[in-house]
């Protein structure tokens, strides 16, 4: 299993006369081998 992360920049947004941006966030990319699996709950 391999995990890579990316820092994603927030996008610019405008609301009426004010300019701002959405929050920056972190994205994870998980690569599994054939025998690996992820269990949910």
- Structure tokens, 30: 């998980």
Contact 41, 10 (CB under 8 A): no
Helix (H) or strand (E) holding 26: strand 25-31
Reported as a single tens digit per residue, the pLDDT across 12-34 is 999 999 999 999 999 999 999 99
- Structure tokens, 11: 């996008």
Say what the pLDDT of residue 18 is.
93
Say what the pLDDT of residue 1 is.
84
How many Å separate Cα 40 from the centre of its chain? 19
């Amino acid at each position: 299993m391999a995990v890579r992360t990316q820092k994603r920049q927030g996008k610019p947004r405008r609301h009426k006369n004010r300019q701002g941006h959405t929050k920056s966030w972190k994205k994870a990319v998980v690569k599994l081998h054939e025998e690996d699996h992820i269990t949910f709950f």
